[in-house]
Amino acid sequence: MIEQISQRQQDILALARAQGRVSVEDLAARFEVTPQTIRKDLNELCEGRLLSRIHGGAIVTSGVRNVSYEARRLVAETEKRAIGIAAAGLIPNRASLFINIGTTTEEVARALGNHEDLLVITNNLNVATLLYRHPSMNLIVAGGPVRRADGAVIGSSAVDFIKQFKVDFAVIGASAIDEDGTLLDFDYREVEVARAIIENARRVVLVADKLKLERAAPIRVGHLGELDDFVTDALPSEPLRSLCAAHGVNLVEVGPAAEAGEPG
């Protein structure tokens, strides 16, 4: 498929793979062409299943492999920061909590800086780096193999370690959320750790931006009905909104409602 696309489309694809997401406006300015030309390029790349269309642009097709961790940090960066602040607001002082791998869970950790007397248990080396200097934090890092791509501690050792605890909160992320409420991820070893975290917390908080509704991943983590709180920038899906209401999930939306209409 690559050899059948134009040089500009190859450049767009390279940008999307580096950044995780591209917008029509930015691409039109970069290549000095009209937005209509860029929309045509994106539509053709999406028809070839190389990208997935979203409002205002496109993201890397994620059914086969995940976007790089550093690129994910740049996707919905402002939204993730707001989600992190809102989720941290749900956690009181002197609480115990798990935080798992994810760029949005990192934002929760970043927003916990002013909390007092927290016990934080994590399999996320990025979270550990953010929190270990805080004098009011008691930090425990799960042991086991470290995934080089993102600093996640995964595998049976991490699962066994986490099962020793029963904490007040679990802060988890997901790579994708299906329309039926299924939470999905890419690595079965990461999913095993996430399941242990969910099962050993009294209250489970999912942090995920609305782009997760537009992605696909192959491995089931759990279901929206297992959550106590879902913190997101916006939830445009009425079926998921109804599921939250039916299961008593506290839905916290921190951003503007999703824009209506076709992808721009």
pLDDT of residue 70: 60
pLDDT of residue 30: 93
Please give the Cα distance from 132 to 229 (Å, whole number).
Answer: 26
Please give the Cα distance from 211 to 103 (Å, whole number).
Answer: 13
pLDDT of residue 59: 81
**CB contact at 8 A, 50 and 42:** no
pLDDT of residue 216: 80
**CB contact at 8 A, 175 and 152:** no
Q: For the domain with range 75-253, which CATH number is right: 3.40.50.1360, 3.50.50.60, 3.30.70.260, 1.10.10.60?
A: 3.40.50.1360
The domains of the chain are located at 2-61, 75-253
Helix (H) / strand (E) element for 189: namely helix 188-199
pLDDT of residue 73: 60
pLDDT of residue 2: 43
**CB contact at 8 A, 177 and 208:** yes
Q: Which tokens belong to 197?
A: 């975290």
Helix (H) / strand (E) element for 253: namely strand 250-253
- The pTM score is 0.74
Give CA separation, 133 vs 50, 78, 102, 105, 122, in Å.
Answer: 42, 25, 20, 18, 15
Contacts of residue 86, defined as CB under 8 A and 6 or more positions apart, other chains included, come to 231, 252, 254
Domain 2-61, second-level architecture: Orthogonal Bundle (1.10)
| Topology match between the domains 2-61 and 75-253 | no
Q: One digit per residue, pLDDT tens: the chain, 264 residues?
A: 444 678 898 889 888 877 778 899 999 999 999 999 999 999 888 887 778 888 888 887 654 345 556 666 666 778 899 999 999 999 999 999 999 998 999 999 999 999 999 999 999 999 999 999 999 899 999 999 998 888 999 989 999 999 999 999 999 999 899 999 999 998 888 899 999 999 999 999 999 999 888 888 889 999 999 999 999 999 999 999 999 999 999 999 998 543 333 333
pLDDT of residue 3: 47
pLDDT of residue 63: 45
**CB contact at 8 A, 122 and 139:** yes
pLDDT of residue 7: 85
Please give the Cα distance from 155 to 189 (Å, whole number).
Answer: 5
